[in-house]
Amino acid sequence: MNHRSVNVAGGWPRGVSVVTVPVHFKFTFRGDFLETPEHWSFGFHMKRDNPADDDAHVGDIDEGAVTTALDTFFSSGVGQIPNNAKCTDWRAYEIGPDGLMENNPLVQDVSADDIKGSGGMAYPPQVALAVTTVAVNRGPARFGRFYLPTRAPIGSDSRMSASDANNLAEAVSTFVKSVSNAIDLELTTSSEGLNISQLQGGKKQTWDHLEVGRCLDTLRNRRKSMIEDRESTGHIDW
């Protein structure tokens, strides 16, 4: 089914905000920046509802296929992910119509698989590359975004080149398509990437395409453990 609503006998307690969203999978990929106390993560939403049969659950996800897709993406020749960005685990959650997790999540520890980027380290942990997920229709769930660890070189205009952005966009597209193909939905061809919004009673839109921004971004929460470690000049004798 495409959408479900939530009814609670007697109504919701006063002060409780009611969230309604289409059911879906939430995927999260996590890791460490080696030789630092900092971590990274990114994620996106995938279809699990099935109008023709039962909705998919985490048991319908091919774990090995997702791990292989992640490894291929990080270690690919695109080289825009630094080799100090190492994957530790990925997780899949069944998100119900109230926006909360249903059942137990699927957790895959990949720390022993040595999945990491292939490019040399270039920036501090908080520098990130933004991937925008774009649907067709205006309104809620038109756009989504996730952030990748990056070492993409920039030119004299302080942006990554159009060719590098295009190559990475193709690699990300291949990765998310492989994740969708790892989801077994009975009587349907495959899952699909979704943008999810809580607006207007809960909306979803299927990704039409991805866009990789040429301007690098920052995520302040990726540098919350490293100490500034200032060096002092000592007393200045004026």
CA dist 67 → 180, 205, 210, 211, 229 (Å) = 12, 26, 21, 23, 37
Residue 163 CB contacts under 8 Å (≥ 6 apart), including other chains: none
Summarize pLDDT for 205-232 with one digit per residue, the tens: 999 999 999 999 998 888 888 888 888 9
Q: Cα 222 vs. chain centroid, distance in angstroms?
A: 15
Pick out the chain residues at pLDDT < 50.
1-13, 16
What are the sequence ranges of the domains in the chain? 24-222
Residue 171 phi, psi (nearest 5): -65, -40
Summarize pLDDT for 10-32 with one digit per residue, the tens: 334 455 456 789 999 999 999 99
pLDDT at 19: 74
pLDDT at 6: 38
pLDDT at 52: 81
Strands 209-212 and 193-197: unpaired
**pTM for the structure as a whole:** 0.88
pLDDT at 13: 46
Alpha carbons within 13 angstroms on the beta-carbon side of residue 66 total 26
pLDDT at 186: 80
Residue 70 CB contacts under 8 Å (≥ 6 apart), including other chains: 29, 87, 90, 110, 115, 175
Mean pLDDT of the chain: 89
